[in-house]
Each structure stands twice: as structure tokens, then as C-alpha cells.
Amino acid sequence: MKISSLLLILILNFSQLAQGSNIQSESVSKENGIRVSFDSNLLQEKRNLWIHLPANYHESKDTYPVLYLLDGDRHFQHAVTAATLLAEQERIPEMIVVGLPNNPGTRGRDLGREREKFIQFIETEVFGYINKQYRTSGINTLFGHSMAGYFTSRTLATHPNLFEKYIAASPVLQNGDKAVYKAFTKLAENKNLLNKSFYFSLAGKAEEGARTTDAFNEFISLLKEKPLKKLRWSYRLMKKQTHMTTPYLTMFEGLTFVFSDYQSPRFTSHAEFEKFGGMNQLKQYFKLRGEIYNTDKAIPEEALRDIADVLLDDKQPQKALALYKDIVKAHPKSAAAFSGLGEVYKSMNRYDESIKAHEKAVELSSSLSPGWQRFLKRRLEQVKNLRS
């Protein structure tokens, strides 16, 4: 995937969302997207949204998860970077990024004194607009830092079905005067709670302070003592970071954790693969992933190649060969598949067949990067030298 310009000209009708309001949009940056301004009926003020779309959004018909950022003006750029890089590495699906920047003087009001009204604003006006204008999948993630991290944690406890995934960097938990603990205690009794994911972090005690650190540890103890069966959660103490740097690492690690059900399983040995459940379990895994994320339900080619390579590393070339033959049959235009097949033949000293497979890989590599083309050609030359 390539990062491309998202200089969008929006001709939008916002009348159904906020009667009488005016929509204006402008480019935030060449790479990052647009800023949309509108009049909020609920908050009785003009509000902005910063919106970034995946590079191939306009060339596809897919639906996309949405990452919503509190303090959006502060976190928008690094969130776009994280979402783009992680999607390129297939750690997360491609997603729409929406920043909710603060108006001057409104942060304490929105995230604290009048948080319920701000939650209603997100649920009705922001969701209403984004879901109307873009192809969204209904898989929404909320990210917040510091006071916004507390807001994120409390929103999970009090409005658990508003988002599917929650990420909180350095949440200032004691600001809630134990309210968040009571809310999570009640959440444990919620029998209708759908599957949720929650990742949170904190810097070292010297950076965050004793009260914040003690509250954070007490919160972890609560989650351990009264575990929520349908809440998948994890945390990290970032002792070498500061309160203001945790959002950057937390964005990468948090997205990776909450979307771990999207990632292809990886194996270091055939025994590990068999313990996982083998090919049947792998088929079920990608079938379920396809149902959740609206992706292809078949096992991806790369996942199959990884397993074949594990078999080869485990000195099981016949099994690797059988699998690679199936892969090239299913993906006859894959240079990587033919190159892998060539490597299996090479390990078996079947050099003529290896050369034939590698030559096919080189032939199919014309659309790949120059680096890939050179790599495939080197593999071909290595086998030719071995045969000589």
C-alpha cells in the first residue's frame, strides 16, 4: 500500500445530522487528509473533525474500521503514521482515522464536567456524520491520552458498546475519585457485554507521580480480581518514557493488541503449528476473521508460504513441496510462491526443477520493486552455480 494524497473536495449535505449547520472542509496536509467544520446542535458551537482515509479507499468498495482520537489535533499525525505502517505489515486492517480536536477552553468540560453530553455528541453527531459519508464497518476504536485516557477507560465501563476497542495512554485514573473502579465493578455484572478489547499504559512512577501510579496499579488489581469474561485486556508500564511520550508507543502497541484477532498466526516449528490445530484450525481462523472484518475467508497465500517455509526449516521437504505445489496452483501469478517452490527443490538437490521455478519467479517479478527483482535473480543464480 502506498501513502497517497487525500486532497478531497467534499460536497456534503449535513442537514439530516444538524439542521441549519454549514459544512466546510480543507486539506490538513498533502498526506494526512482533510479537516471538516460543522455546527453542533448538541454542543451549540462549531466543531472540527480531522479525517484520513486509506490510500486505496476510492479504488475499493470495502468497508473500514474507524479509529477515533480524542485530543485529535495532538494525535492525528502520529495515529495516521501508525495506522498506515501497521496496515502495511498486516498487523491491523486498513482503517479510517478521525481526530476530534478540542475547541479552546473546552477540554475539561468535554472530558470531565460534561462528559455525558460529549459522549452523546460522539454517538449521534460524529458517528452519524462519519457513517453517512464513508463506508464504515461498525468496528470502532477509541484512543485517549492523560485525561482523555481516563475518559476512554470510563467510557468502556459506562458505555461499553459504544466502541469495540479501547486504547488509553497514561490515563489519570484518580481524577475520577474511584468512579471508574465502581463502574468497572458494575461492568463485571453486565451479562450483555459484547467482546471488547482494552489496552492501557503508564510511564514510570517518577514521571507520573505516586497517586497516578498507585491508582493505575489498583485498577489492574481490580481487573485481575474481578475479571470480565468478555473483556480482553493488556497493559504496559513504560518506565523509560514520560507522560507526554507514552501516546506514541501506546498507539502502535495498542492497535496491535486490540486487532490481534486480525493478524495471521505465526509459527516457529511444525510442532507448534500442529499444536495450534493444523490446517483445519487455520481455515477456521481466517473464516472467522473474514466474518468479523469483511475480508477474504480463505487462508492468505503469505500464511500458507510461511507454513511451507516452517516445514522446510523443520527438515520436512516433502511436506513443504506438496504445500508449495498447492500454493502455485492456487496463485499462478505469485513470484514469491514460485521462488519458495524453487527453494524447496534446491534443498532436495533437484536443481533443474529449482531453476525452472526460480526462472518463473523472475518472469513474474516485473511488477515488483527493484529490490525484490534483484533478490529473486540472486536466488536463481545461486541455484545455477550449485548445478554447475
Domain boundaries, the chain: 24-258, 270-387
Given a contact cutoff of 8 angstroms between Cβ atoms, the answer to whether 299 and 287 are in contact is: no
Q: What is the CATH number of domain 24-258?
A: 3.40.50.1820
Per-residue pLDDT of the chain (388 residues; tens, 9 = 90+): 333 333 332 323 333 344 344 666 666 554 568 999 999 999 999 999 999 999 889 999 999 999 999 999 999 999 999 999 999 999 999 999 999 999 999 999 999 999 999 999 999 999 999 999 999 999 999 999 999 999 999 999 899 999 999 999 999 987 555 777 778 777 777 766 678 999 999 999 999 999 999 999 988 988 888 777 788 999 999 999 999 999 999 999 999 999 999 999 999 999 999 999 999 999 999 999 999 999 999 999 999 999 999 999 999 999 999 999 999 999 999 999 999 999 999 999 999 999 999 999 999 999 999 999 999 999 999 999 998 7
User: 51 vs 13, 38, 132, CA distance in Å?
Assistant: 17, 13, 14
User: 210 vs 150, 153, 218, 235, 324, CA distance in Å?
Assistant: 17, 20, 12, 18, 57
Model pLDDT, residue 23: 66
Q: What is the CATH number of domain 270-387?
A: 1.25.40.10
State the virtual CA torsion across 255, 260, 263, 265 in degrees, nearest 10: 150
CB atoms within 10 A of CB 279: 14
Q: Which long-range contacts (CB under 8 A, 24 or more apart) does 285-293 make?
A: 288/261, 289/261, 289/262, 292/139, 292/261, 292/262, 293/65, 293/93, 293/137, 293/139, 293/262
User: 125 vs 17, 111, 158, 161, CA distance in Å?
Assistant: 6, 17, 19, 17
Give the length of the chain: 388
